Amino acid sequence: MTNELRVELGTRSYPIHFFNGAVSAIQQAVAEAGAQGRKSVLLTDEGVAVAQAEFLKQSFGSVPRLTVGAGEKSKSLESYGSVQDFLAANGVTRQGLLWVVGGGVVGDLGGFAAASYLRGIDYIQVPTTLLAMVDSSVGGKTGINLAAGKNLVGAFHHPRAVHIAADFLATLPPREFAAGMAEVIKYGLLGDATLFAQLEGTVLAPAHADLPAVIRRCCEMKAGIVRADEFETAAEGGRALLNLGHTFGHAIEQVTGYSAYLHGEAVAVGLAGAARLSQKLGLIAAADVARIERTVAAHQLPVRLRAPLTIADLQAATTRDKKNRADGVRFVVLNSLGAAATRSGIPPALVEEVWRELGAV
């Protein structure tokens, strides 16, 4: 069974397909590409190669495959070079097609490689984690990390299609599933109070009957935001709202060397930080902060730093956030539960107070 949602971007529009099992659809797409003289190649990571070995074999057969290490450290210049060498070694032309199967790290890495190889080739996202399904596989943001900060090198390059099959989540480690829930909670907070209320009352799990509809709802929200502000150029709000919790979260990831927290775990702490900052700005009440933190914690996510980090290092990391503009660090704050806005010019001392409450020193 499949249904479809389109990301409407004129000539760059593409479908998001929702499946119960994606093997036959991928087999057909690979065969059709081959019949058109388009060579398919595959990028995945070590975790997916083990957990989804049979899926990869059935879906892609003898398609050339590159497997990179699992985890955030593969979003690097070194891995990027490996993907480029792989594409060149396999004689991929501008008519070639890169299949990217995995979570957000592989999706961002593969998308950026596709954006820049031969000045741009087509790629298809097959997200295997909850985080990638609801967020990173949709919208065309691709990139890698530098030591100086998260996603500082990248490009806007939309996939030709996204294939989402929730049955992948049955083999996803619980910690990875929880990390994806941070992004789901984010969507409720930034633009859908009904979704947040649902998450407040129900702890979702991979087999939960509500999960496919929740995944689709998140994709609908992201598609709408991307359609309205594709290149994140809106003076206020727009696509930047998708970074709710991420200014704090990216700083945590950068300071800890992308090793101590999964992306969603850092975002979870960041959501608590954004809530507390919003309260200090007089936008939401302490009771709202408590509701947010209870919901995040109920989904097995942290709302405080696991170990103290230095405020000076965290503040320095926020100054390198890619959302920033000439007027300084730009945060996403909550006007209410279900309505977010961007805000610049926040006194650094106020942000330091938040960091202390999150466990920084």
- Active site amino acids: 119, 141, 183, 222, 236, 239, 243, 246, 250, 263
**Integer Cα distance of 266 and 264 in angstroms:** 5
What H or E segment, with its residue span, contains residue 182? Answer: helix 174-191
How do 2-7 and 14-19 pair as beta strands? antiparallel
Give the span between the Cα atoms of 122 and 139, in whole angstroms.
14
Instruction: Return d(Cα 316, Cα 348) in angstroms, integer.
Output: 11
Q: 49 is written with which tokens?
A: 């190669």
Report the C-alpha gap between 310 and 253 in whole angstroms.
13
Q: Please give the Cα distance from 88 to 83 (Å, whole number).
A: 9
Contact between 126 and 104 under an 8 Å Cβ cutoff? The reply is no
Phi, psi of 123 (to 5 degrees): -145, 160
CA 53 to chain centre: 24
Q: What tokens appear for 3 in the block?
A: 């249904």
